[in-house]
Amino acid sequence: MTVRKTSVLVLDCAEPETLADFYARLLGARAERGADPDFIDVIAEEGVRLSVRRDHGYAPPSWPRPDDSQQAHLHILVDGEDMDEAEREAIGLGATPVEAKVSAGVRDVRTYADPAGHSFTLTARLG
């Protein structure tokens, strides 16, 4: 059985309210704050969805130099009760745990590297 999942592109920043407002206006979308105070979702009726996350140590990108903060990463949203099964699926498909600590509850986030080394997280779906 495959666990139900949704992916969300997350942009790190110092001021998520400002960045969420920018993307909401740019995409003709709405910005919604959820249960996690450091995240704001930007949702458009056409299916566009992204999130912005407060990074307290945020440093703007210095592209193409790779030595600054992560900037963007893929969150794969999973119902909380399915996190363990989703983790088994990811590892079974070739993911490598980077930080797979179980922290049940609102902030259950488990980080992996895909087979090419890109990071992604399995994140408990909020609300």
Sketch out the chain's domains with CATH numbers.
5-124 (3.10.180.10)
Beta strands 39-43 and 30-33 are antiparallel
Contact 49, 125 (CB under 8 A): no
Beta strands 49-54 and 5-13 are parallel
pTM of the model: 0.63
Task: Kindly state the average pLDDT of the residues 20-48.
Answer: 87
Residue 76's nearest CA partner among 85, 67, 64, 63 is 85
Phi-psi map region of 90: left, alpha, beta (phi>0 left; psi -120 to 50 alpha): alpha
Where residue 30 falls among pLDDT bands split at 50, 70, 90? very high
Task: Kindly state the average pLDDT of the residues 77-99.
Answer: 88
* DSSP state for residue 4 in the 8-state scheme: P
Task: State the Cα–Cα distance between residues 37 and 59, nearest whole angstrom.
Answer: 20
